[in-house]
Structure 1
Amino acid sequence: MDNQQLLGLIDKMTLEEKIAQLVQLAAPFYEGADDEGQITGPMQAMGITDSMVASSGSILGYAGAAGAIAVQEAHLAKNPHGIPLLFMADIVHGFKTIFPVPLAIGCSWDTELAERSAEIAAREAAVSGIHVTFAPMVDLVRDPRWGRVMESTGEDPYLNSLFARAFVRGLQGDDLQAEAERVAACVKHFAAYGASEAGRDYNTVDLSERQLREYYLPAYKAALDEGCEMVMTSFNTIDGIPASANEKLMRDLLREEWKFDGVLISDWGAVKELIPHGVAEDEREAAYRAIRAGVDIEMMTACYVHELPELVRGGQVDEALVDESVLRILQLKNKLGLFERPHRGANPEREAEVVFSREHREAAYELATKSTVLLKNDGVLPIRPEAKVALIGPFANSGDILGPWSWSGSTEDAVRLDGALAERLGAGNLIVAEGCGIESGTEQQLREALEAAVQADVIVLALGEASEMSGEAGCRTDIRLPQAQLELVALIAELRKPTAAVLFNGRPLDLHGVYDKLGAVVEAWFPGSEGGAAVADILIGAVNPSARLSMSFPHSVGQVPVYYNHFNTGRPLGADDAQVRYVSQYLDAPNDPLLPFGFGLSYTTFEYGSLKLSSDKLPGDSRLTVSIDVTNTGERAGTETVQLYIRDIAGEVVRPVRELKGFVKLDLAPGEVGTAVFTLGEEQLRYHHADLSFKSDPGRFDVFVGRSSLDTQQGSFVLTNA
């Protein structure tokens, strides 16, 4: 259908039918999705009528090819104008084949693999009947107390932007209408949800507009520049106004400045939540404020269908606002080809063929190996082939390694660490003991753990968080491992045997009691369906770890938020200030994190040559080349991620001490020398000034190249006007 036909369709619709297109309801409201008992309760509770359901525009959280076809057929039979439903769901890091959580994917620093993971997730979702996924989440995160850090790719706006683009490319492909096995992407949560105060979900955000534009907005813009079809509003306030009622944010910035003409959807219940936020007295005012802000789809509350008809008829809301929202929704349905093919990619035969296929699982395995970060290794790893190994801990035999937002994944199908290690070590070389539960333990469990450890040459402690301890509503003030696990670590550490901890978790942790007591620490995150196999191959050295942290690990929660691209102060802590009190410092902890952004170890070693700049001046219309030689000085092949940072020495406003501007991954054989080459131009040195103009300032810049944000070589150049 062309745009004129869509407008003609809108003209045929009653006001109530148009407004019903703006409501999104969960699966229990729809015939064929669940039994009648489940349909009736939610409908009565929300005041939803059969006619509203029949004219509604989208369904939330339902998948399965045969069922989706049946639901769509039943809906088309009842819809007055034969308008198909949009099927939407949270396909965040995989559908049935679960990939590592996005924070782990960020640690791969591999956008090609990230794109591949999104493409596979899209294929599995599309053949199962889904049209839109609520991903990627690109919120910049600096506070590991916030449970949803696992859903972001980290603390850096540049790296987050690269991953945002990669995920959108993978999900949507080149042509949504032609490619039935891709899905429309929905970037979230707009905006700055990752800056929630105190690391608490749904909480207040209070940022200057300059901070918002400089750090939090770039990744959303990158996703939209890549063609992302949908935006989801965040739960938080911005400048005292909840996002779902924020006309400045949604109308002025998103629609007018950025020219976004796709669909804007609220998060679950966010429109009605304008009432407890304190910007709407009742549902009528909530509907009024949300439609004026440009929210096209209200998810799982009924303010629009209950209140907009009278608001329009009473003249408080222009019907044109409703029409523009309906048009955007119909345009997305048209772009997906739903008017011609209402079942689109849903195909039971294809579903059986591709969902959780061997090919997809192999891709999940590869990404899990490249997302696992070696945090410490005092010669414990890799495990020697002849070693007898004790695998101890609550995650030794756990399938809870998929992480939050894996609703279609199966923990039963997840490769467990004990099984994977047993296959690789051979009969009789692996002893397994639980040691404790995730949050509690018994004396008997500790005795069994000690008995296993005494028999072993090498001990592996499989530790971490349950999946519900992170993710949405998974915020924590104490980000250490639970006490029961710390007691297990302390007990095993007393044996003074080679011991490695493997961590399964969704956030950077305070590692006191682990990092300081054990010889090796492996951060596996929630590694997904093939996690056990990936971690086992890291442990035995079949795979050389190459991942780098995309979010800093604090010394303690008292440092939070701690991030690499912070500002200096007028009294910065210097190397010679140990005895000086009146500088910006803690009395009981260092300023720097325990493990910085960009950090990660390997089973080989790399030696850096001297940093070279093509010139000490960069004219504004020219380019500057930065290069460095890297030699693999170890005995096995490995990948080194060489990182480039800059610092603007004197800006109109304070600039960060370091900003990531590029990275190069070098795959090097033993003894091989590779050269990392970077190109810098004036456009990479721009920032938002006090008046929000985006430009650079002539003057001196420091450039840093190295293996992490805190382990670099330094050079400098001057940006000139000509």
Structure 2
Amino acid sequence: MKWLTSLTIAIGLACAPAGAQLTNTAPVAAQSNAAHQAQRDAFVSDLLRKMTTDEKIGQLRLISVGTDNPKHVIREMIRDGQVGAIFNTVTRQDIRAMQDQVMELSRLKIPLFFAYDVVHGHRTIFPIALELASSWDMNNIAKSARVSAYEATEDGLNMTWAPMVDITRDPRWGRVSEGFGEDTWLTSQIARVVVKAFQGEAPTDRHSLMTSVKHFALYGAVEGGRDYNTVDMSPQRMFQDYLPPYKAAIDAGSGGVMVALNSINGVPATANRWLLKELLRDQWKFQGITITDHGAIKELMKHGVASDPRDASRIALKSGIAMSMSDEYFVKYLPELVKSGAITVQELDEACRQVLNVKYDMGLFADPYRMLGAASSDPVDTNAESRLHRAEARDVAKRSLVLLKNRLNILPLKKSGVIAVVGPLADSKRDTMGSWSAAGLARQTVTVYRGIRTAVGNDATVFYAKGANVSNHKGIIDFLNQYEDAVQVDPRSPQAMIDEAVAVAKKSDVVVAVVGEAAGMAHEASSRSNIDLPQSQRDLIAALKATGKPLVLVLMNGRPLALVREDQQADALLETWFSGTEGGNAIADVLFGDYNPSGKLPMSFPRSVGQIPIYYNHLPSGRPYTPENPGKYTSHYYDEANGPLYPFGYGLSYTTFSVSDVSMSSPLMKRNGSVNASVTVTNTGKRAGETVVQLYLHDVVASISRPVKELRGYEKVMLQPGESRVISFTITEDDLKFYNAQMQQVVEPGKFEVFIGLDSQRVKQQSFTLL
């Protein structure tokens, strides 16, 4: 297919090194961009002169299709110029009908744009973002975004609410599943790649899907991991740890920014002029559109910064909000605010210009139906199997799985004998897709049980038993099923279900138990105070362990879990997160060794909830704890082993690797210079495999405390048995920069420690001095 060629080109561009291929094209691109902006500004200025106040306000409304706004009501709003964009409709026929309303009935025929939560796939569901990050493979991540953009634009969509680049170090937060983990540097790299892969080479391209990076800002740092909660943060931590991924996405060209629901140091993001104007516009030079999260303007009253709806509308628009998502306040209160002078015409025009600009950039004024094509090209069956991209989804998923434990090399399994597949998630199609599964259909999803059955064919016997419900807690099940029957509850008694699973296990050679969370347990508004496996599943695992059969735990979850007990019980642990449409086949590929796992964790796994927040790049303490010399008066917990159960960057393979001592090209680094740090990596096992070689740095003495180590580079390398390769990293001043106490970005001379290893804990060390 022609689009696959374009996909390959786009992925190549998205993953090119910084500055690659820009020497000769940058001046031309700059001129072209300047000419485009001049033409756009002239067009939009002329259009604004023709628009009434009510028509301008109408452009600021983003309406959701649903029970509150049925399609026939929305069409009346469109006719009256009260809608600027639509979200939550995903078929060409519906989108065409709404655009027809504009073209046939509205006065100025300003086209709509259409948006949707295409977070990790559209019709083909790819692994959740946290799992994509586990691949540490930018080509892999870019592939998922390009396919998603292709499928979404084939349905007529113009914008996605993605990527989510909120840094989080608290796995209690339900939205951990939507992001790329705890590390600022890694998330920033992924943010650039995802934006470029979604948007392609130009926003007017047929399969370019404009991004709206979210949630701006600091949403992952909410207190207690409770969704929608407050954030209180120092400027240094803000600029060093949490803001860089948003900046990376914006620098990569993201056309939109979705504003967060949390407050920042007492000021809600939706009312935060410093955030939306001084930082985003003035310092970062963002020229795209700012969009609220769902109903955020109304919430300014509950935050306690607006006295009434009129006040909330005034504050939001003056603070820098352009488009209001699913909120009728603008259309109700802005007309009077403008008439009274509380909102100036210039302020209204600035907001409306943002909306019109992105529509111009999308090419909608030139062709409002550019993402739709002719009506005769509409698919006969919107959900046709032929519209999926299964091969790509399977490939992406298998490269993202993380092997956490493999005692006595129980994995890979043999495709023979008798295999018991048990667990509440083993044959759950809905949960295999994960949260925010867009237009994906559960019935088109491959479960672990089905994947194993397909993999072994007639060469092995496979037994299945559910074994337990996801949870026996009625309150939790009621919560998960509040809006849909997402979790199916087996009416049998817990003991009857366990007895069935034990009977199956006893007549099998090995037990594969698929356990973890239902998709709804790792979602918006699904924060957890306890990150253990539910008791129903712990009881099942204990009963399976008691059979004495080899036990493989396949984890399905959207956050790091506390797994000390399970780590002790299992012979092997495979972290599969939520792997999407082809999840079951990808997991089977790894379980049977058709693919050698190579994923690495993008978040630390705590031993218990009491360790949270836990992350590898913390600041040093004046009384540091070390296992070799614990001491009483050191920073530690006395009632539990310290440090994570599985550290950031950790992941095993079916082969083994060794890393040599670090070799430095020089012990000294001159100003504006660089040094190289190298190691030799050897595959010391018996089969080919990939691993991720990771570079970390530590500024030993600085004007403020610097993290004990920070990721600054990595390389994923494939080695044959016995093969060695030298991996070299170039370290420049950019890798050493930080914000000092005066909020100046500086590089300070002195000693820097260099760590290279296969995860953040097991590293080889060297150093150099910056002159």
Superposition TM-score, scaled by structure 1 size: 0.95
Match of 1:387 among 417, 432, 446: 417
Q: Does 2:449 align with 1:397?
A: no
- Cα separation, 1, equivalents of 2:399 and 2:716: 12
Aligned match of 1:376: 405
Alignment partner for residue 116 of structure 2, among 66, 89, 108? Answer: 89
Gaps of 5+ in 2: 1-38, 473-492
Instruction: Give the letter for the 2:269 counterpart.
Output: A
Letter in 2 for 1:406: S
Instruction: Report the CA distance between 1:553 and its aligned residue.
Output: 0.4
Task: Name the SS for the 1:274 alignment partner.
Answer: helix
User: Which residue does 1:315 correspond to in 2?
Assistant: 341
Q: Which runs of 5+ in 1 are unaligned?
A: none
- The Cα RMSD (Å) is 1.8
Distance in structure 2 (CA, Å) of the matches to 1:29 and 1:431? 43
Name the stretch that deviates more: 349-358 or 203-212: 349-358
* Structure 1 position 52, deviation (Å): 8.2
Alpha-carbon distance in structure 2 between the residues aligned to 1:49 and 1:176: 29
Q: In 2, distance between residues paired with 1:51 and 1:216?
A: 39
- Is 1:437 matched up with 2:464? no
Aligned equivalent of 1:118, options 145, 160, 168:
145
Correspondences of 1:419-458 after superposition (within 5 Å): 419-427=450-458, 428-440=460-472, 442-458=494-510
Of 364, 367, 375 in structure 2, the residue corresponding to residue 341 of structure 1 is 367
Q: Is the 8 A contact 1:546 1:602 kept in 2?
A: yes
Amino acid at match of 1:454: K
Deviation at 1:419, TM superposition (A): 1.6
Deviation per residue, 1:320-357 (Å, 9 max, x gap):
01101111111110111111211121246375699764
Q: Distance in 2 between matches of 1:544 and 1:359?
A: 25
Q: Give yes or no for contact 2:425–2:518 (8 Å, CA) kept in 1.
A: no
AA matched with 1:581: K
Change (3 A) 1:185 1:610: same
The 5 A counterparts of 1:632-651 are 632-651=683-702
Alpha-carbon separation, structure 2, partners of 1:355 and 1:373: 32
1:191 aligns with 2:213: no
Within 5 Å, give how 1:544-693 maps onto structure 2: 544-578=596-630, 580-693=631-744
Alignment equivalent of 1:417, drawn from 422, 445, 448? 448
> Structure 1's 277 and 673: CA in aligned 2 closer, same or farther, altered over 3 A?
same
* Deviates further, 20-29 or 51-60: 51-60
Paired with 2:378 and 2:645, the residues of 1 have a C-alpha distance of 48
Q: Cα distance, 1:165 vs. partner?
A: 0.6
Q: Do residues 60 (structure 1) and 98 (structure 2) align?
A: no
What does the per-residue CA deviation read over 1:407-442, in whole Å, with 9 as the maximum and x for residues that have no partner?
A: 311111001111221122233521111111111362
- Choose from 445, 451, 468 the match for 2:520: 468
Which shows bigger deviation, 420-429 or 662-671? 420-429
Displacement of 1:80 in angstroms is 1.6
Deviations 1:592-616 (A, max 9, x none): 1110000000000111122111111
Are the structure 2 counterparts of residues 212 and 451 from structure 1 closer, same or farther at C-alpha, using a change threshold of 3 Å?
A: same
Distance 2:753 2:522 in 1: 38
Post-superposition shift, 1:388?
Answer: 1.7
Structure-2 separation of matches of 1:273 and 1:431: 51
2:228 counterpart residue number: 202
Change (3 A) 1:564 1:533: same
8 Å contact from structure 1 (residues 55, 79) kept in 2: no
Partners of 1:162 and 1:499 in 2: CA distance: 37
Q: Distance in 1 between matches of 2:71 and 2:333?
A: 29
1:446 to partner: Cα distance: 1.0
Distance (Å, rounded) in 2 between the aligned partners of 1:356 and 1:407: 16
Taking a change above 3 Å as real, the CA distance of residues 363 and 353 of structure 1, as seen in their structure-2 partners, is farther
Aligned-pair distance for 1:471? Answer: 1.3
User: What is the one-letter code of the residue matched to 1:26?
Assistant: S
1: CA distance, partners of 2:565 / 2:501? 18
Q: Give, as a single letter, the amino acid of the residue that structure 2 aligns with 1:439.
A: S
State whether residues 143 and 560 of structure 1, in contact with CA within 8 Å, keep that contact through their aligned partners in structure 2. Answer: yes
SS at the partner of 1:624? Answer: strand
Give the letter aligned to residue 2 of structure 1: R
2:562 and 2:289 mapped to 1: Cα distance?
A: 40
Is the 2:65–2:71 Cα contact (8 Å) retained in structure 1?
no
CA 1:516–1:643: 2 relative to 1, 3 Å: same
1:8 maps onto 2:46 in alignment:
yes
2:161 aligned partner, one-letter code? F
How far apart in 2 are the matches of 1:116 and 1:689?
38
Aligned to 1:217: 243
Q: Deviations over 1:632-688 (max 9, x none)?
A: 111111001000000000111110001000001110011111121100011210101
* Alignment map for 1:534-553 (pairs within 5 Å): 534-553=586-605
Q: Choose the corresponding residue for 2:392, options 342, 359, 363.
A: 363
Deviations 1:297-337 (A, max 9, x none): 01111221111111111111111011011111111101111
Name the SS for the 2:433 alignment partner. coil
Measure, in 2, the Cα distance between the counterparts of 1:124 and 1:159. Answer: 27
Give the 3-state SS of the residue equivalent to 2:569 in structure 1: coil
Deviation at 1:387, TM superposition (A): 3.4
Residues 42-53 of structure 1 mapped to structure 2, 5 A cutoff: 50=77
Cα distance in 1, alignment partners of residues 635 and 155 from structure 2: 55
Bigger drift between 437-446 and 622-631 goes to: 437-446
- Shift of residue 358 of structure 1? 7.6
Asked if structure 2 preserves the Cα contact closer than 8 Å seen for 1:96 and 1:356, the reply is no
Please give the residue correspondences for 1:156-305 in structure 2 after superposition, counting only pairs within 5 Å.
156-177=183-204, 179-305=205-331
- Select between 639-648 and 436-445 the one with higher mean Cα deviation: 436-445
Per-residue CA shift, 1:540-566, capped at 9, x if unaligned? 111100000000100000001100000
Q: Is the 8 A contact 1:20 1:56 kept in 2?
A: yes
Q: Output the CA distance in 2 between the equivalents of 1:365 and 1:83.
A: 41
1:6–1:625 Cα change, 3 Å: same
Task: Write out per-residue CA displacement over residues 83-124 of structure 1, whole angstroms, 9 at most, x where no aligned residue.
Answer: 011101110000000000000000000111111111111111
1:26 aligns with 2:35: no
Give yes or no for contact 1:214–1:687 (8 Å, CA) kept in 2: yes
3-state SS in 2 of match to 1:551: coil
- Does the C-alpha gap of structure 1 residues 612 and 264 become closer, same or farther in structure 2, counting only changes over 3 Å? same
Quote the Cα distance in structure 2 between the aligned partners of 1:553 and 1:633.
Answer: 27
Q: Which amino acid aligns with 1:433?
A: A
Is the alpha carbon distance of 1:261 and 1:501 closer, same or farther for their aligned partners in structure 2, counting shifts above 3 Å? Answer: same
Greater mean alpha carbon deviation, residues 155-164 or residues 582-591 = 582-591
- Partners in 2 of 1:446 and 1:426 — Cα distance? 27
Q: Deviation of residue 384 (structure 1)?
A: 2.1
In structure 2, what residue type is equivalent to 1:571?
Answer: R
Q: How many residues align?
A: 707
Do the aligned residues in 1 keep the contact of 2:119 with 2:438 (CA within 8 Å)? no
Cα deviation 1:244-278 (Å, max 9, x = unaligned): 00001111000100011110000000111100000
The alignment-based identity, stated in percent, is: 41
Check the 8 A contact 1:620/1:681 in 2, yes or no.
Answer: no
- Does structure 2 retain, via aligned residues, the 8 Å contact 1:392–1:435? yes
Note the alpha carbon deviations across 1:482-514, whole angstroms, 9 max, x for none: 100000000111122211100111100011331
Instruction: Tell me if the contact between 2:214 and 2:260 (Cα under 8 Å) persists in the aligned partners.
Output: yes
Q: Tell me the secondary structure at the aligned position of residue 54 of structure 1.
A: coil
